[in-house]
């Protein structure tokens, strides 16, 4: 069943996207999966985009769905699957350029914020115990937020091969990102950021007078919050630090190839090298059952947390983000742990199995985790298993959700969650490119 808004009620139109959808529907034998793709792939454009030209410059604001604010992380993830189409659709290219303009502007407003308002106004979180600005919707320091900005800028450059968009103003934002990363290594002091919230929800506020639990500096970067927007227990969040290594190497390439700045490139590379050494020295731990695996969080004192969370970057997502190879031994050991009873947030029930998140408490499986399991698999049976789960758990809404009860897919959270819809669309394209025979079957 097609559930897209009518043409005149869509936020943004792309002929390339519409053409791809029709082409893909003709290749997918399972009508339900074909209709899910037709609904999910364009959902960001259909429902979440505000695009305009301001003073001859593209400007794009993208909400997450049912929350009227723009996350740096989510907005990148929501458009990532459109990047391959920008050469066919100049307006789509302008949309993503506008998003980068917005993101890099937001970085200069506050590099520690995770989410922003469309314009200066009071947020529901304006009373948080941190240095809130009127443009900021929420000020949770999440290392991955800035990594996602670099990821989109680098992906946009590699897709368009166009250097002209990379202005000196963008460069100021990149420099601020590197400075913020270094501040949160906390080698000499706790840095300028602290956060508190008056709440009974423990993961929504921060211990240690707003600075988080104690750390022993080791070269890694503190992330007070996870990509789930939950507070970390041990502030060195491992998947986000691994993401930062990748992002810094991409930034070094931008500095060299676009700005011709070898000094800035060397600074980014040296920081990446320092984090990488620290991660493999302190965050690769011997598990009782699985050998050497990546911990999810550490504190530098030797303490660690063995879980994985559905939100990306996750340990599961490392190959998807290009951080490790699919056959990396530590990753494969970690993957076995993730889909086992030893991961407290891996759930198995009547409706299926998958990874959840402390964000939605226990016994709730996230569609992001099922999609990511398929995206990081080279096993056809496992990919089919994930397709069947996704088909069986959309609860007749014809879209992906945040989470669903492991025993009842009709008990779900967030019916309008564009990130999950985008990632599902990306999965179907990947299957079409790598395992096209799977789309010729019904499930």
pLDDT per residue over 164-173, tens digit each? Answer: 999 999 999 9
Give the three-class secondary structure for 285: strand
**Neighbouring C-alpha atoms within 13 Å toward the C-beta of 169:** 12
Report the pLDDT value the prediction gives residue 84, as an integer from 0 to 100.
97
Boundary of a domain, candidates 321, 344, 367: 344
- CA 285 → CA 68, 333, 430, distances in Å? 40, 11, 32
356 and 332, same structural domain?
no
Helix (H) or strand (E) holding 297: strand 297-298
What confidence category does residue 14 fall into, taking pLDDT thresholds of 50, 70 and 90? very high
Polymer length in residues for the chain: 443
Spell out where 13-56 has E strands.
Answer: 49-54
- Residue (of 183, 21, 164) closest to 100 by Cα position: 164
Torsional sign, CA 389, 392, 398, 404: negative
413 and 373, same structural domain?
yes
Report the pLDDT value the prediction gives residue 337, as an integer from 0 to 100.
98
115 and 65, same structural domain?
yes
Which positions ≥6 away from 373 have C-beta within 8 Å?
Answer: 316, 339, 354, 355, 382, 386
Report the pLDDT value the prediction gives residue 428, as an integer from 0 to 100.
98
247 and 189, same structural domain?
yes
Average pLDDT over residues 249-274: 98
pTM of full prediction above 0.85: yes
pLDDT in tens, 202-222: 999 999 999 999 999 999 999
* Tokens (6 digits) for 394: 């959309």
74 and 18, same structural domain?
no
Q: How many domains does the chain have?
A: 2
Name the pairing type of β-strands 364-366 and 352-355.
unpaired
Average pLDDT over residues 169-192: 98
99 and 26, same structural domain?
no
CA–CA distance, 97 with 165 (Å, rounded to integer):
8
Average pLDDT over residues 143-168: 98
Report the pLDDT value the prediction gives residue 137, as an integer from 0 to 100.
98
Percent of the chain with pLDDT over 70: 100
369 and 299, same structural domain?
no
Report the pLDDT value the prediction gives residue 219, as an integer from 0 to 100.
98
- CA 303 → CA 7, 218, 235, 236, 295, distances in Å? 54, 13, 11, 11, 10
CA–CA distance, 100 with 87 (Å, rounded to integer):
17
408 and 284, same structural domain?
no
What confidence category does residue 227 fall into, taking pLDDT thresholds of 50, 70 and 90? very high
CA–CA distance, 338 with 423 (Å, rounded to integer):
20
Give the three-class secondary structure for 197: coil
196 and 232, same structural domain?
yes
Boundary of a domain, candidates 299, 320, 344: 344
Boundary of a domain, candidates 324, 344, 364: 344
Q: Exposure of 189 by Cβ count < 10 A (0-12 exposed, 13-18 middle, 19+ buried)?
A: exposed
pLDDT in tens, 388-428: 999 999 999 999 999 999 999 999 999 999 999 999 999 99
Q: Which of the 8 DSSP states describes residue 231?
A: B
Report the pLDDT value the prediction gives residue 136, as an integer from 0 to 100.
98
Question: Tokens 């398929």 sit at which residue?
Answer: 374
Average pLDDT for the chain: 98
What confidence category does residue 186 fall into, taking pLDDT thresholds of 50, 70 and 90? very high
360 and 273, same structural domain?
no
Report the pLDDT value the prediction gives residue 254, as an integer from 0 to 100.
98
Phi and psi (nearest 5°) for 377? -110, 145
Helix extents (H) in 279-346: 329-338
Helix extents (H) in 184-326: 238-254, 262-278
Report the pLDDT value the prediction gives residue 232, as an integer from 0 to 100.
98
Report the pLDDT value the prediction gives residue 86, as an integer from 0 to 100.
97
How many CB atoms neighbour CB 400 within 10 A?
A: 30
411 and 339, same structural domain?
no
Report the pLDDT value the prediction gives residue 195, as an integer from 0 to 100.
98
pLDDT in tens, 71-96: 999 999 999 999 999 999 999 999 99
Average pLDDT over residues 375-396: 98
CATH number at residue 177: 1.50.10.10
What confidence category does residue 259 fall into, taking pLDDT thresholds of 50, 70 and 90? very high
Report the pLDDT value the prediction gives residue 207, as an integer from 0 to 100.
97
| Residues of the domain holding 194 | 50-344
24 and 38, same structural domain?
yes
What confidence category does residue 253 fall into, taking pLDDT thresholds of 50, 70 and 90? very high
């Amino acid at each position: 069943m097609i559930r897209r808004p009518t043409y005149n009620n869509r936020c943004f139109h792309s002929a390339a996207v519409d053409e791809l959808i029709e082409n893909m529907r003709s290749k997918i034998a399972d009508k339900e999966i074909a209709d899910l793709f037709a609904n999910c792939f364009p959902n960001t454009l259909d429902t979440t985009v505000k695009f305009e030209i301001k003073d001859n410059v593209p400007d794009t604001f993208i909400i997450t769905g049912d929350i009227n604010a723009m996350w740096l992380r989510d907005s990148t993830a929501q458009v990532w699957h459109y990047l391959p189409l920008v050469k066919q659709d100049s307006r789509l290219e302008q949309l993503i350029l506008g998003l980068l303009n917005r993101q890099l502007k937001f970085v200069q407003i506050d590099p520690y914020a995770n989410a922003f308002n469309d314009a200066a106004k009071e947020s529901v979180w304006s009373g948080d115990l941190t240095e809130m600005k009127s443009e900021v919707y929420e000020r949770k320091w999440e290392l991955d937020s800035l990594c996602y900005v670099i990821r989109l800028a680098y992906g946009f450059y590699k897709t368009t091969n166009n250097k002209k968009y990379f202005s000196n103003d963008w460069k100021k934002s990149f420099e601020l990102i590197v400075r913020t990363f270094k501040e949160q290594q906390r080698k000499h002091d706790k840095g300028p950021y602290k956060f508190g919230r008056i709440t009974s929800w423990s993961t929504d506020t921060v211990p240690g007078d707003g600075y988080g639990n104690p750390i022993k500096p080791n070269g890694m970067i503190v992330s007070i919050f996870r990509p789930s927007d939950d507070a970390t227990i041990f502030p060195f969040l491992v998947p986000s630090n691994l993401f930062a290594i990748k992002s810094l190497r991409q930034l070094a390439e931008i500095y060299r190839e676009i700005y011709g700045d070898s000094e800035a490139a060397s600074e980014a590379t040296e920081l990446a090298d320092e984090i990488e050494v620290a991660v493999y020295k302190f965050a690769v731990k011997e598990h009782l059952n699985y050998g050497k695996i990546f911990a999810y969080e550490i504190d530098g004192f030797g303490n660690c947390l063995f879980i994985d969370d559905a939100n990306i970057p996750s340990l599961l997502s490392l190959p998807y983000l290009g951080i490790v190879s699919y056959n990396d031994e530590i990753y494969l050991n970690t993957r076995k742990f993730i889909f086992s009873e030893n991961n407290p947030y891996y759930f198995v029930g009547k409706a299926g199995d998958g990874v959840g998140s402390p964000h939605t408490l226990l016994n709730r499986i996230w569609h992001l985790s099922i999609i990511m399991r398929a995206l990081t698999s080279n096993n056809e049976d496992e990919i089919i298993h994930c397709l069947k789960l996704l088909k069986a758990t959309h609860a007749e809404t014809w879209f992906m959700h945040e989470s669903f009860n492991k025993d009842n897919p009709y008990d779900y959270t967030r019916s309008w969650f564009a990130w999950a819809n985008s990632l599902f669309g990306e999965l179907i394209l990947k299957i079409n490119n790598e395992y096209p025979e799977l789309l010729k079957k019904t499930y």
